A and B are shown apart, each in its own frame.
Chain A
Amino acid sequence: MTMTKQTYAPGTHPSLPPPKNTIGFTFWLKENLFSSATNSIVTLVSIYLLYLALPSAINWLFIDATYVGTTRKDCAPDGACLAFIGERFNLFVYGFYPAELRWRVNLATILLAVAGAAVLWDKIPARKHMLKFALAYPFIGAWLLSGGLGLEPVGTHLFGGLMLTLTIGVTGIVGSLPLGILLALGRQSNLPIIKYFCIGFIEFIRGVPLITLLFVASTMLSYFLPPGTTFDLLMRVLIMVTLFASAYMAEVIRGGLQALPKGQLEAAESLGLNYPQAMRFIILPQALKISIPGIVNTFIGLYKDSTLVIVIGLLDPLGIGRASVADSDWLGLSTEVYLFVAVFFFISCFGMARYSLYLENKLNTGHKR
């Protein structure tokens, strides 16, 4: 400490750079991994565990793995039998969708990506027109997938695999958000009929397991409908999943609405904005922003819950995985199959989680200080 301390006259002290050793990689290491004895031990133990686990996992999954083959016997005993995944890949993706019509699923998926980009990414060129396309997409997608109007009809009992998960997930997400907003606003309504209808709906749906609702959709609904009406099974599932998610969504959004200071609505009202305007411009943008983590949480839950359709005989990737594991040519491959399904779900859900973080960052206008 022989450094001479420079002195400044009052009012002339300039801003100085931070002292050395408080920035850079070594500092990061020291601060985060070796800041104390306990921390150093945890770091070293973690490195040792990774050393134990990683090499064998990599060996199993990549180096010793078998990528081509037609039966279990073609696979090396010590490696992953990825040949099986390759063999069944189309089944995992398209379910039982007729092979010669799979281009329609592909096209629908590409268009979904375009529509999704228009909604999720505000810097897309010509966004106004893209959004119109996104609004029309549900009809285009449904038409491509199920046919009719010039396309060969494909029964929804042939839907399966990833495309089934995507169909249920995207429909549920797109449907449950607006429905959830309406329910949340309705629950706060001054009109008792609307208010108690919303409360009753939300509490009923939340109080019943999704599996029960799916059973109701698949079996009991036909008792309530006029005889002779056929109502597509997948359609019923989509409606049930959407209603189920919307009840949760409503409560998440209600949390956001209640987090807003009362003054926001008062300011909007004092400026003469009517109720719809105040909701649209002032209240909902802020309430939804606050609710983003909860909304995405509900989305992810809904997406993963779509695997429950297995109980009413629809085969999503997990269902197809389970059926495949039972194949006598390929016995004993559950690890590979479930790992594949897990990776698929993880990628989708992790993507949603990252997008929600991006959105939260983008919408942060600095009032959270």
Chain B
Amino acid sequence: MSETQSNSTADLCIEIRNMDKWYGDFHVLKNINLEVRKGEKIVICGPSGSGKSTMIRCINRLEEHQKGDIIVDGTELTNDLKNIDAVRREVGMVFQHFNLFPHLTVLENCTLAPIWVRKVPKAEAEATAMEFLERVKIPEQANKYPGQLSGGQQQRVAIARSLCMRPNIMLFDEPTSALDPEMIKEVLDTMVSLAEEGITMLCVTHEMGFAKKVADRVIFMDEGEIIESNSPHEFFDNPQHDRTKLFLSQILDH
């Protein structure tokens, strides 16, 4: 914890303070406090239903929080649509089920938002899109429809689609959970190479190998609370909390 506090607040990228969220009567997120520095890679893990997806979905306001503050890149998330749009332009998101637009080609998936949100000329947007499709190693699929691609390819397109908006922050919501085992690696490789480029990443995942390899910090959540937050080394080798130990013993025993 001390390493985050020693940094000045100037390079803070995401700041969540005393945030609470309810679904109806159900208290899903309880007093969440989280500070993310620019370029930091954070892996969030925890049992299902612990609120990890909900938490990162609050960061681009796909979910609304009811108490506390969320400040992303200096913009506070309130009901103000302008602020929400401003944050969403800077924050990319990759979903568990890809959520590609099935009626558009891969290239159109990648250029739609830059053209209409960033007002980039079409030719330039297409050049950028091809660049990112090459980065995720599927430029040859540009004119196909998402339904014609494998799951792993679709997820890489989804990553490229987010990158085309040139976001400062990328959120990954269980990006490999819906994939066949043989496709997980190609997506993780893409994410590792992305991490090496210094973009800020928050990643909800059960891929502990990925966490060990790229994370600066691992956060463990349970029942809507952040239970533990530590460097991967400390987190895996020296977990502090009983619930963390239990969780780790359950996922690592196999």
Contacts and interface: CB of A to CB of B under 8 A. Distances in A.
A282 interface: yes
A369 interface: yes
Nearest to A277: B116
Contacts of B81: 274
A351 interface: no
A258 interface: no
A272 B85 contact: yes
A272 B88 contact: yes
Given A264-B101, A272-B165, A366 B95 contact: no
Contacts of B113: 271-273
Contacts of B88: 269-272
Contacts of A273: 112-113, 116-117
Contacts of A277: 116-117
Interface residues of B, number: 28
Contacts of A90: none
Contact of B103 (A271, A274, A285): A285
A363 interface: yes
B60 A366 contact: no
Interface stretch (B31-39, B131-139, B144-152): B144-152
A267 B165 contact: no
Interface string A275-305: 0010001100110010000000000000000
B100 to A, nearest CB: 7
A366 B88 CA distance: 30
A365 B100 CA distance: 13
Given A277-B116, A281-B112, A285-B103, A270 B92 contact: yes
Contact of A266 (B62, B89, B117, B145): B62
A285 B91 CA distance: 25
A282 to B, nearest CB: 6
A369 B146 CA distance: 11
A368 interface: yes
Interface string A160-199: 0000000000000000000000000000000000000000
A281 B104 CA distance: 9
A261 interface: yes
Contacts of A363: 103
B117 A272 contact: yes
Contacts of B102: 286, 365, 367
A125 interface: no
Nearest to B63: A266
A264 B147 contact: no
A367 B100 CA distance: 10
B99 interface: yes
29 contacts: A261-B97, A261-B99, A263-B97, A263-B99, A266-B62, A267-B93, A267-B95, A267-B99, A267-B101, A268-B101, A269-B62, A270-B91, A270-B93, A270-B162, A271-B162, A274-B81, A274-B85, A277-B116, A277-B117, A286-B101, A286-B103, A289-B103, A365-B103, A365-B147, A366-B145, A366-B147, A366-B148, A367-B145, A367-B146
Interface of B: 60, 62, 81, 85, 88-89, 91-93, 95, 97, 99-103, 112-113, 116-117, 145-148, 158, 161-162, 165
- Enumerate the 7 nearest inter-chain pairs by beta-carbon distance, A residue then B residue, closest first: A367-B147, A367-B102, A267-B99, A263-B99, A271-B113, A366-B147, A270-B93
Interface of A: 261, 263-264, 266-274, 277, 281-282, 285-286, 289, 363, 365-369
